[in-house]
Structure 1
Amino acid sequence: MSYEAWILIVGSLAGVTCGITGCFLILRKLSMLADAISHTVLLGIVLAFMISQSMSGVYMLIGAAIVGLLTTFFVQLFHSSGIQEDASIGVVFTFLFAVGVILLTIFADDVHLDVDHALMGEITFVPWDLVKWGFLPELPKAFLMLSVVLIINLLIIGLFYKEFKITSFDPQMAAAIGIPVLFIHYLLMGMVSVTTVASFDSVGAILVVAMLIAPGASAYLLTDQLKVMLVLSALFGVMAAVVGYYMASWLNVSISGSMATINGLIFLVVFLFSPTKGLISKKLSMKKLKTE
């Protein structure tokens, strides 16, 4: 596999994995919580390295999942105590993220993980960071992690599709018919946490928010069916990764930044020209209604 092909594959996997997970965040109006988790998982990664003295993807995923769930728990706790949700998110994620940065600087200064890498990612190094798992040949670690996380996320969505759908659209009804709303909520937050860590090498903690939110937001403007929304968000994620890579090569700029930019441009086009929810479509419908 060529160097360019691996970058496109890893970027596309990040787009698909983040895109389908982000759909449920859009429906639940939890976009800012995704931003918080994408930052606080840095603390989980650093703690996992300090305990295991290893940069193994398994330890990173476990540490990220624990801290991601911890972030959600504290936000819920403060919000239920009377503090506004946005204030709760701001306090929790800035504190945990700051602790992660401090511990990273002190205890992980001699490894390739640093603050810039954690924040911005560096997909150009992905094809060279090879690992060997079992009988498989040496493959890029980011590719293996994203593939495993994508399969896990798809299995969870498949097993709990009905629960995710009902709790996303009507949590009160879900609770009334006996669906464990809180369990599904924390399950989704765990998915967001491990998805964020798996995407670190390609887009970093900050730009992963664009991959989580923009494809789902674009798909939301085009359909009212959840299954179609999941498929569209995955396609938009792949489109942003591929077009973003070639734009970055053409302009000689950051690849992850270009991918995030294309995500934003896709959303802008859909926002303007969506047949049912687009700004221009609405204006034309209003004009037609006034004419009639």
Structure 2
Amino acid sequence: MMIEVLFVLIVTAMATSLLGVFLVLRGMAMVTDAISHTILLGIVLAFFITNDIRSPWLIIAASLVGVLTVYIIELVSQTRLIRQDAAIGFVFTALFAVAIILVSKYAGDVHLDLDVVLMGEVIFAPFNRIEIFGLSIPNALWQLSIILLINIAFVLLFYKELKITSFDPKFAYIAGFSVAFIHYALMTLVSVTAVAAFDAVGSILVINFFVAPALTAYLLVRRLGTMIMLALSFAVLNSVAGYYTSLYFDLSVAGTTSFIALITFMIVFLFNSNGWVSSFVQKTRQKKQFNRAMILMLLNEKSHESLTQEEIMSHFNLTPKRFNRHIDHLLMNEYIEKHNKNYRLTQRGVEFTHYTRIKYELPEMNDHY
């Protein structure tokens, strides 16, 4: 039964991250936050009508409310009286507040409690089962698998349209693509997927499932097809790692998976080729190379004489530790040689200095000193 929990988690992560790629590219990550909260209003209203927490009308109503949320946000934003982020905050908090009031007032005795709605609990998924071709499987796994297939079919069918409208919506409009249709179709699928993911990860953590794998992939690649495949891979990786970590430490499965997604993102953020650590290392290396090149150029300008340690340190205001680090490197690479306590260029150092000055178009040292 526990392996079924893992399957539900993986399918949930894949279904959400697939659409999350296009949300990230369109700069609509926070719209996902709004949708994941306001669809609760559609669930509540449909439940009051059907009195069935498993009714398909809940998904339909929630999807309609999700699309309505996007429409209201855009309607408010287009007035240019307030910015889009303010419109998102205003609309989703208002609709979500109505849903919370209705749940707490009229649905406190059913499985529509606030803890499950907000946080989700994927370990309960295997207890609600359905018979499919004589095989008993979790209902959540069945629903999310269908939604995953629908999302895949949508992306494959409208791949070109999604790509153009995500990267250049103005060109897409001029070229005759139905920008509005693609936009609202995507938002509808986001709403449906978020509703189905409610039981597994709740309305708060579902935002992480939509956005985190896509953002992590975005840091590594720029080609859309590769980004999609990488986002799905991160979704599976986060799910498997989060699942087994939660079992080992007896933690919330969805919460642990979201935390693993954060760790994965931070690792990529810090250590990718353009990440903070890589940039810091590169800047440090460039600074060292520049300082060593300046020492060589100084010695080259003083080619008729050798310089002492004190003269070089005084010229560049170097500490003994930094001086020794630079000089050891230059000696080891045979750019300079030491006679008694003085330093001067070797022939290799002269050639390297000449090459460096031409490459970076540096002036003569006497121009500055």
How would you bin the TM-score normalised by the shorter chain? over 0.9
Aligned partner of 1:279 in structure 2 is 276
The reply on whether 1:37 has 2:69 as its aligned counterpart is no
Contact 2:216–2:265 under 8 Å retained in 1: yes
RMSD value, Cα = 1.4
Whether the 8 Å CA contact 1:163–1:184 is kept in 2: the answer is yes
Which letter maps to 1:44? G
Structure 1 runs not aligned, ≥5 long: none
Quote the Cα distance in structure 2 between the aligned partners of 1:263 and 1:182. 32
Query: Counterpart amino acid of 2:107?
Result: A
Distance (Å, rounded) in 2 between the aligned partners of 1:58 and 1:163 = 29
Matched with 1:62 is 60
Alignment partner of 2:135: what SS? coil
1:269 corresponds to: 267
Matched-pair contact (CA < 8 Å) for 2:130–2:139: yes
Q: Deviations over 1:113-150 (max 9, x none)?
A: 211111000111111111235x3533211101110110
Deviates more, 1:106-115 or 1:229-238: 106-115
The CA deviation at 1:155 is: 0.8
Tell me, yes or no, if structure 1 residue 91 matches structure 2 residue 76: no
Deviation at 1:243, TM superposition (A): 0.8
2:46 to 28, 45, 48: 48
Other-structure match for 1:167: 165
Counting only pairs closer than 5 Å after superposition, residues 189-228 of structure 1 correspond to structure 2 as: 189-228=187-226
Q: TM-score, normalised by structure 1?
A: 0.94
Percent of aligned positions that are identical:
43
Question: For residues 248 and 185 of structure 1, do their structure 2 counterparts lie closer, same or farther at Cα, with a shift above 3 Å needed?
Answer: same
Cα distance in 1 for residues equivalent to 2:66 and 2:254: 23
How far off its partner does 1:61 sit? 1.7
Shift of the alpha carbon at 1:73?
0.5
Could you list the per-position Cα deviations for residues 177-197 of structure 1 after superposition, in whole angstroms to 9, with x for gaps in the alignment? Answer: 011112211111111111111
**Amino acid in structure 2 at the alignment position of 1:117:** V
* The one of 17, 22, 30 aligned to 1:24: 22
The DSSP-based 3-state class of the residue aligned with 1:131 is strand
Q: Deviations over 1:37-67 (max 9, x none)?
A: 1111111111121122222252222112100
| 1:61–1:194 CA contact under 8 A, matched in 2 | yes
d(CA) in 2 for partners of 1:60 and 1:146?
15
Secondary structure class of the residue paired with 1:221: helix
Candidates 240, 243, 251, aligned match of 1:242: 240
Q: Give ranges in structure 2 of 5+ residues lacking alignment.
A: 291-369
Count of residues in Structure 1 that have an aligned counterpart in Structure 2: 288
CA contact (8 A) 1:21 1:212 kept: yes
Distance 2:107 2:139 in 1: 19
Find the residue that maps to 1:132 and give its secondary structure.
strand
Partner Cα distance (1:128, 1:51) in 2: 25
Contact 2:53 2:111 in 1 (8 A): no
CA distance in structure 2 between the aligned counterparts of 1:116 and 1:165, rounded to whole angstroms? 38
Q: Is the 8 A contact 2:39 2:191 kept in 1?
A: yes
